[in-house]
Amino acid sequence: MVKKVKKIKEPAVAIKFPANILEPIGNFLRQEIAKLSRRQKEIKEVDPFSDPQRLNDNAASDAEALEQVGHEQAVAMKEQVGRRLIQLKKALTRIRVGKYGICEKCKKMIDTDRLMVMPEATLCADCAKISQQ
């Protein structure tokens, strides 16, 4: 017995945002990427473990504990900024290839209000709700 596989139908006409809308979004994304790249460098500089003199320092255990906490905070912030950078770069790529604003799952247009709040969104609100469950 052969089972039929249901295919998701692609829209007959390619859905695409007009260039006059995409240009300011692309500019915003590039600005955010630059801002977050600078923030990543700042976080690295603030990380107590990045100080080469730290290894030569025979600090008290409480000072070492403070350094450890500072390092953990820096790592967490760096990871968060890194994830956001990846999302923004992915959104910029989606603009370039003509897939920006199209839900990756259902292939429908993502609501513009959602994109205004979260320009890196790759899922429509309905698909995002389903994926969070």
Encode pLDDT of 76-89 as tens digits. Answer: 899 999 999 999 99
Domain membership flag for residue 2: no
In a domain? residue 96 = yes
What's the mean pLDDT in 4-24? 67
Position 12 scores a pLDDT of 44
In this prediction, residues 22-26 reach a mean pLDDT of 91
Q: Report the 10 Å Cβ neighbour count for 125.
A: 13
Give the residue among 29, 33, 2, 13 at the shortest CA–CA distance from 92: 29
Residue 20: predicted pLDDT: 83
Residue 47's domain spans which residues? Answer: 19-132
In a domain, 5, yes or no: no
- Is residue 10 in a domain? no
Q: In angstroms, how far is CA 116 from the centroid of its own chain?
A: 15
Q: Is the pLDDT of residue 56 over 60?
A: no
- Read off the pLDDT of each residue in 34-59 and give the average, rounded to a whole number: 77
Which CATH number covers residue 36? Answer: 1.20.120.910
Residue 41 in domain: yes
Q: What is the pTM of this model?
A: 0.72
Contact 84, 42 (CB under 8 A): no
What are residue 115's DSSP bridge partners? none
Residue 44 forms part of a structural domain: yes
For position 105, what pLDDT does the model report?
94
Return d(Cα 37, Cα 78) in angstroms, integer.
10
The pLDDT value recorded for residue 40 is 92
In a domain, 56, yes or no: yes
Predicted pLDDT of residue 107 = 92
Total domains in the fold of the chain: 1
| Those residues with Cβ within 8 angstroms of residue 130's Cβ, 6 or more apart along the chain or in another chain | 105
Region for residue 11 given its phi and psi (left: phi exceeds 0; alpha: psi -120 to 50; beta: otherwise): beta
Give the model's pLDDT for residue 89: 96
